[in-house]
Amino acid sequence: MSQKDEQKTEGKSQERNSSNSDNVGGIRRSLSGRRGRGPIVKPKNFLATFKRLWYYIGKEKNVLAYILLFLIVESFLTLLGPYLIGLSIDTISASNGFVDFSALEIVVMALIFVYVTSGILTFLQGWLMAGMSQRIITDMRRVLFKKLQSLPVAFFDIHPHGELMSRLSNDIDNVSGTISQSTTQLLSGSIMIIGSLTMMMVLSPFLTVVNLLTACLVILLARVIANKTSKLFKEQQAELGRLNSHIEETISGIQIVKAFNREDKVIAAFDDVNMKLCEVGLKAQIWSGFLMPLMNVINNFGIALIAIIGGILAIKSIITIGVIASFLSYSRQFARPLNDLANIFNLLQSGIAGAERVFEILDEQEETADLPNAMILNNPKGHVVFENVSFGYRPDVSVLKNVSFLSAEGSSTALVGPTGAGKTTIVNLVTRFYDVTNGRILIDGIDVREYTRDSLRRCFGIVLQDAYLFSGTIRENIKYGKPDATDEEVENAAIMANAHRFISMLPKQYETQLSENGANLSQGQRQLLAIARVILSKPSILILDEATSSIDTRTEIHIQDALLKIMQGHTSFIIAHRLNTIRGANNILVIDHGEIVEEGNHDFLIHNEGVYYQMFFDQFKILREYKV
Amino acid sequence: MNFFSRYTGKYGKKFFLAVFFVMCETVCDLILPAIMAQIIDVGIAGKNMEYVLLKGGFMLFITALGAIAASFRNIISSTVSQKFGTELRLDLYKKIQTLSLENIEHFDRASLVTRLTNDVTQIQTLVNGLMRIFIKGPFLCIGSLIMAIQLNAKLTLILAVVIPIVGILILINMKFGFPFFIKVQQVLDQLNSVMREYLSGVRVVKAFNRFDYEVEKFNKANQELQLKSVKAMRMISVFGPGIMLTVNFGIAAVLWFGGKYVHLGEMQAGHIIAFINYMTQMLFSLLLISMVFNMFVRAKASTERIIEVFAQENKMKWDLYPSEMAAIKGRIDFQNVYFSYGKMKEEAVVKNVTMTCMPGERVGIIGSTGSGKSSLIQLIPRFYDVTSGSIKVDGEDVKEINPKWIREKIGIVPQKSILFTGTIMDNIKWGKENATVEEIETAARIAQAHDFIIALPEGYQTKVGQGGVNFSGGQKQRLAIARAFVKRPEILILDDATSAVDVLTEEKIKEAFKQYAKNLTCLIIAQRIISVMDLDKIIVLDQGEIVGIGKHSELMESCEIYREIFYSQVGKEM
């Protein structure tokens, strides 16, 4: 992705370079031609989105006004250039052999003035635009990221991270890049077209008609080819997608490929898709490649036509040679933005579509606000009650049905049951990552929704199965829950979590830099750090969601020691697959299909010979069979 | 770039043909302004209608000629670049497939994917560009210069001033502008990583209420990015107008001095127009060249990344390729095996392992995470070569045999069950290309997968989503077992492959092995002690070393670590 971005920024800069110059239209065309290749994404509501976007652009009203002013002035000056050239040619060729130097001097001076002014104006535009567009992007990114803070966990569960990433980076880039560029281009293009057309009409109406004919031909041709290629490019995109997923799959599963001696087979399959991609890519490239030369032909044809007809007119003394010269320049200035217009409009559309995707996130429902007189939960005793709680992530599928239970303060509650039974959902509800659909949850006798969300979550310490660590040092990671902790506190927490030992063995100890998601530590070590992090934050209520399931049982014993230490005197919830882990819990809830099917402590449930009994002894059935 | 050499032989001729057509195209482009000048100076000035028509016709003819050349060039360059890209991609893919895992570990998997996609495309674009504009740029530049000198040698002095200035401006732009964009890229990467971390760790952020901290971190990166981007873009904004201004001054100078020469009768008005035309064409070509340079820079990085892969040499060597199968089937011998992923022996993850698995034996391997279980069994199919010591499969030292031959005998079910897109049937067939429906169903029955497969609406024809998303962990593992079993291997290796399967089903699978394949040597790595305690032999690993080997009852007596594992799972009272 990074490379693509680089390409984009660079492409942009080049485009900027060349779009400012009127003599090198060819470069711009070929560049934007390449960029506009992908299938065009049309926004759903162009105007409404543009209006919303104005909120961000409007903050830069003053700068924008300057840019527009410079743009308009510069466009007119650019229009003046060819006229002055024609004028000077005329002064040179007016009376054969005799040149009126005082007139030429005036014209050339005027020309230099025009060039210098328009050069300065172009520079100022670029300078101001750079600041403005970047400020807009930064602002939008900031707003969007802030929005992410207030979105419920559900949002992150539903949306693939890759997609969110692309909205935060690509789409926003796209918005500012394409919109600022395409609107100014659209504007200057329109001025150019109208201005050139007027100038041409003034110079020679007859030649203008000739010129318009060839212009129509160019537009028609571009249409035909674009129609043909857009289909091909779509096909190419599809084949490319197929190739990419084949590559992804076989590279990430390369060990299996090797284990089954399937190298030749996957290569053959690759070859197949690769060839198909080549075929359609070739077609697409050839067709789109015809556009440039053909357009050149038509343009040159137009020039030749103007030369012939203009020549005839000049011989008949209807126009001067200077008129032909300036007319040619104008016709070029007329054709370029005309060719680009469709392209620019597509760019603008894709920019607006990007903005739409960004706004979609901004429109997402936030976590409900705290009640106006919400209480602050501070050092709760940890008396937790579920009262007829029902919940569904989607309205039509209920995950929890009428769940009621009580956890006394300082007690430990274990949740067991098959995957998908709703164990994690219960945890999500207590911590208000989600809110109940029906019923209520009470902590210390008060509905959790009446506390501020902030203070509520501060009371919980959660250890998840996948211990997430951030890039940074080990110390920073442990301190994450309590940024102002002293080094001593950090070490004490690590000692309690049985993490101190392995940390001391690392060359840089607590200053060891962790890579993203702590990939340079083992699963068990990461889990120990996560536990130290929780210990340091001194939670009142502890939640262990499969905290030890990815760790082998011997290491688990060490971690359990640490956990038992912090659970002492605190209310705790434990979700575990290994029933052995939760035997000591005060209360075990057996959950299936969103309902509590059994409840009680280990001995009671075993005595009861119900579901739990079955689960427990299935584990040891083999043991008995082998009489150990 | 000698890595291109294997392709130049194949595409060289066509490449030069394309270059030839580009030249034709350029010549046509160059002639046009000259004809134009003639029309003005001779035709119009001399009021010669016939001449105007004649030359006008000639102009059209040249235009058509140029178009034909351009079209041919387009077809050839498209074909060459597409075919070249396709072939390069295939070669790279083949190379990756033949590399050993040891080689592949050098690369991030994701980066291998980008190398195959983005990087190849990047080079392909360059090749296409080479044929289109790289040749055209310098050619147009020199051609324009020659034509300009022909028109008026003295006016060329203006070019001698303008062109170097433009050239220097472009150079400075590239030299100073590029590092700016690299910086922008770096900051952008930082910003992205802040976001990625936030997205992955959102629960932790919420649980600890660290929003302010995250926002601050983000804002800092965001501000930095703004600063760097603005700098880079402003840098660029100086050069565009600068170049334009230089050229425009040139035009003004041509008009002024041209006027003088016309006054002296040394040149005609038409020549001035033509001269300006050639000058702008030269500028155009210079910009083209600078663009190609940018493409080169980009492609250079890609080329290096691709060469890096091609440069990898499979260090595994073998001289034996046993033609007939060995007499013994399913025997594995480890003799003082050491293994480390790195170079140093101290970091060995497998230390001094000596053991033997007899045909038909079922061997369990147990130990904590990081004790070297997976590393140990990876050595058997020769995914890696031992650092020292030897491993023999069926009496043959694996270091001397083609890995394909060994892997033919071995069925592996890895820790992470990876399935591929296709139907369930396709996936099981991975083990045996021409397996009959019956064989597949038997394998599925053994893996205890048959029942859940036929319960699916489409049975064995059910499509498997990418990575097997539509199946539960236990189902995926059972499909992976069926896939390994359909091969009818002599040796079957289960690398913690039943962790998501419940105990009873696991027991059924092990029973089925016994029943259907009596001589199958079975290596089972497991976390659950129950999974291995009934096996013929159990190997206890700790920190890469064997600390216990024997039956359950023996180990309970002799092996401290085994006892620890047992009690940690089963509890003391059982």
For chain B, give the mean pLDDT: 80
A19 lies in some domain: yes
Compute the distance between CA of residue B401 and CA of residue B323 in angstroms, rounded to an integer: 11
A503 lies in some domain: no
pLDDT of res. A468: 72
**Which structure tokens are listed for A18?**
């060349």
Boundary-marking domain end, from B278, B312, B346: B312
pLDDT of res. A518: 54
Query: Which among B52, B75, B466 has CB closest to A311?
Result: B52
Residues A215 and A183 in one domain: no
Is B67 strand, coil or helix? helix
- Number of structural domains in chain B: 3
**Which structure tokens are listed for B50?**
């016939």
Helix (H) or strand (E) holding A333: helix A321-362
Residues B38 and B163 in one domain: no
Compute the distance between CA of residue B493 and CA of residue B64 in angstroms, rounded to an integer: 70
Nearest to A192 by CA among A37, A368, A20: A20
B437 lies in some domain: no
Residues 486-545 of B with CB under 8 A from A: 487, 502-504, 507, 527, 529-530, 533-534
pLDDT of res. A38: 44
pLDDT of res. B191: 79
- For the ranges A191-200, A580-589, B191-200, the one whose mean pLDDT is highest: A191-200
Residue A6 above 50 pLDDT? Answer: no
Which residues 6+ apart lie within 8 Å of A60 measured at CB? A132, A135, A136
User: CB-based contact (8 Å) between A23 and chain B?
Assistant: yes
Query: What average pLDDT does range A83-108 have in this prediction?
Result: 73
**Which structure tokens are listed for B23?**
């030249």
User: CB-based contact (8 Å) between B469 and chain A?
Assistant: no
What are the Cα distances from residue A325, in Å, to A23, A78, B48, B251? 14, 15, 19, 13
Q: What is the CATH classification number for the domain harbouring A397?
A: 3.40.50.300
Residue B442 above 80 pLDDT? Answer: yes
Query: What average pLDDT does range A470-484 have in this prediction?
Result: 77
Residues A180 and A211 in one domain: no
Contacts of A149 in chain B (CB under 8 A): 211, 214-215
Give the number of residues written for chain A: 628
A589 lies in some domain: yes
Its domain, for residue A445, covers: 371-459+571-628
pLDDT in tens, A387-396: 888 887 666 6
pLDDT in tens, A123-181: 888 888 888 888 888 888 888 888 877 777 777 766 666 667 767 776 777 777 676 67
Residues B11 and B72 in one domain: yes
Strands B537-542 vs B362-366: parallel, antiparallel or unpaired: parallel
> Who has greater pLDDT, A553 or B9?
B9
pLDDT of res. A395: 67
User: CB-based contact (8 Å) between A42 and chain B?
Assistant: no
Is B519 strand, coil or helix? coil
Compute the distance between CA of residue A174 and CA of residue A204 in angstroms, rounded to an integer: 42
B3 lies in some domain: yes
Residue pair B356/B334 in contact by the 8 Å Cβ criterion: yes
Compute the distance between CA of residue B540 and CA of residue B548 in angstroms, rounded to an integer: 5
Residue pair B520/B330 in contact by the 8 Å Cβ criterion: yes
Query: Which among A85, A274, A307 has CB closest to B90?
Result: A274
A473 lies in some domain: no
Residues A213 and A307 in one domain: yes
Residue A353 above 80 pLDDT? Answer: no
pLDDT of res. A482: 74
Residue pair B316/B385 in contact by the 8 Å Cβ criterion: yes
Residues B192 and B79 in one domain: no
B126 lies in some domain: yes
pLDDT in tens, A254-270: 777 777 777 788 888 88
A483 lies in some domain: no
Compute the distance between CA of residue B372 and CA of residue B350 in angstroms, rounded to an integer: 6
- For the ranges A40-49, A253-262, A498-507, B374-383, the one whose mean pLDDT is highest: B374-383
Query: What average pLDDT does range A7-15 have in this prediction?
Result: 35
Residues B123 and B170 in one domain: no
pLDDT of res. A163: 67
Rounded to two decimals, the pTM is 0.69
Strands B332-339 vs B388-393: parallel, antiparallel or unpaired: antiparallel
Predicted confidence band of residue A13 (pLDDT cuts 50, 70, 90) = very low
B198 lies in some domain: yes
pLDDT in tens, B450-464: 888 888 888 888 887
CB contact under 8 A, B60 and A301: yes
Residues B147 and B180 in one domain: no
Interface test with A, best of B39, B47, B410, B538 (most A CBs within 10 A): B39
Residues B397 and B496 in one domain: yes
Residues B17 and B133 in one domain: yes
Compute the distance between CA of residue A551 and CA of residue A491 in angstroms, rounded to an integer: 23
**Which structure tokens are listed for B421?**
């897109």
Query: What average pLDDT does range A182-199 have in this prediction?
Result: 81
pLDDT of res. A520: 61
B139 lies in some domain: yes
Compute the distance between CA of residue A212 and CA of residue A191 in angstroms, rounded to an integer: 17
A491 lies in some domain: no
Residue A11 above 50 pLDDT? Answer: no
Residues 219-238 of A with CB under 8 A from B: none
Its domain, for residue B34, covers: 1-151+304-312
Q: Which residue has the tokens 């299909």?
A: A593
Residues A359 and A314 in one domain: no
Residues A52 and A68 in one domain: yes
Nearest to A612 by CA among A592, A598, A624, A593: A598
User: CB-based contact (8 Å) between B199 and chain A?
Assistant: yes
B104 lies in some domain: yes
Residues A183 and A40 in one domain: yes
- Side-chain-side CA neighbours of B309 within 13 Å: the count stands at 29
Residues A587 and A626 in one domain: yes
Residues 290-319 of B with CB under 8 A from A: 291, 294, 298, 301-302
Nearest to B143 by CA among B295, B26, B15: B26
DSSP code for B236: H
Residues A70 and A189 in one domain: yes
Residues A443 and A424 in one domain: yes
Is A592 strand, coil or helix? strand
Residues A49 and A193 in one domain: yes
Least confident of A67-71, A277-281, B321-325: B321-325
Query: Which among A89, A137, A257 has CB closest to B273?
Result: A89
Tally A–B CB contacts below 8 A.
Answer: 464
pLDDT of res. A28: 30
* Cα dihedral B70→B286→A12→A284 (10° resolution): 10
Which residues 6+ apart lie within 8 Å of A503 measured at CB? A474, A494, A509, A510, A512
* Cα dihedral B161→B167→B170→B175 (10° resolution): -120
Contacts of A578 in chain B (CB under 8 A): 569
**Which structure tokens are listed for A303?**
């020039």
Q: What is the C-alpha radius of gyration for chain B, rounded to an integer number of angstroms?
A: 36
User: CB-based contact (8 Å) between A10 and chain B?
Assistant: yes
In chain A, the percentage of residues whose pLDDT exceeds 70 is: 81
Give, to the nearest 10 degrees, the angle between helix B136-151 and helix B269-311: 160
pLDDT of res. B454: 85
A613 lies in some domain: yes
pLDDT in tens, B44-97: 777 777 887 888 888 888 888 888 888 888 888 888 888 888 888 888 888 888
B47 lies in some domain: yes
**Alpha helices in A363-384, H assignment, sequence order:** none
Least confident of B9-13, B143-147, B199-203, B552-556: B199-203
Query: What average pLDDT does range A471-479 have in this prediction?
Result: 77
pLDDT of res. A4: 37
Strands B521-525 vs B350-357: parallel, antiparallel or unpaired: unpaired
**Which structure tokens are listed for A400?**
């929890």
User: CB-based contact (8 Å) between B270 and chain A?
Assistant: yes
DSSP code for B487: T
Predicted confidence band of residue A42 (pLDDT cuts 50, 70, 90) = low
Residue pair B491/B330 in contact by the 8 Å Cβ criterion: yes
CB contact under 8 A, A251 and B109: yes
Q: Which residue has the tokens 């065009």?
A: A40
Residues B242 and B132 in one domain: no
Residue pair A517/B196 in contact by the 8 Å Cβ criterion: no
Residues B111 and B28 in one domain: yes
- Interface ipTM > 0.85: no
B463 lies in some domain: no
Residues B535 and B404 in one domain: yes
Residue B359 above 50 pLDDT? Answer: yes
**CB under 8 Å, gap of 24 or more: what pairs does A262-265 form?**
A262/B430, A263/B97, A263/B98, A265/B433
Residues A295 and A351 in one domain: no
**SS3 sequence, A151-181?**
CCHHHHHHCCHHHHHHHHHHHHHHHHHHHHH
CB contact under 8 A, B466 and A7: no
pLDDT of res. B345: 52
In chain A, the percentage of residues whose pLDDT exceeds 90 is: 0
Residues 494-553 of A with CB under 8 A from B: 516-517, 522-524, 533, 537, 551-553
CB contact under 8 A, B199 and A307: no
Compute the distance between CA of residue B461 and CA of residue B458 in angstroms, rounded to an integer: 5
Residues B113 and B52 in one domain: yes
**Which structure tokens are listed for A125?**
């535009």
Residues B72 and B141 in one domain: yes
Query: What average pLDDT does range B288-297 have in this prediction?
Result: 74
pLDDT of res. B332: 86
Which residues 6+ apart lie within 8 Å of A620 measured at CB? B530, B570, B574
Residue A8 above 50 pLDDT? Answer: no
Compute the distance between CA of residue B38 and CA of residue B58 in angstroms, rounded to an integer: 11
For chain A, give the mean pLDDT: 74
- Number of structural domains in chain A: 3
> Who has greater pLDDT, B347 or A81?
A81
Residue B339 above 70 pLDDT? Answer: yes
pLDDT of res. A107: 82
Q: What is the CATH classification number for the domain harbouring B123?
A: 1.20.1560.10
pLDDT in tens, A530-582: 888 887 777 788 888 776 665 666 667 767 777 777 777 788 888 876 666 67
Give the burial class of B310: count Cβ atoms within 10 A of its Cβ; 0-12 exposed, 13-18 middle, 19 or more buried.
middle
Residue B121 above 50 pLDDT? Answer: yes
Residue A21 above 60 pLDDT? Answer: no
Predicted confidence band of residue A318 (pLDDT cuts 50, 70, 90) = confident
Least confident of A27-36, A177-186, A298-307, B12-21: A27-36
Is B22 strand, coil or helix? helix
Alpha carbon of residue B185 to chain centroid: 20
Helix (H) or strand (E) holding B464: strand B463-464
Residues A209 and A197 in one domain: no
Residue B512 above 80 pLDDT? Answer: yes
Predicted confidence band of residue A35 (pLDDT cuts 50, 70, 90) = very low
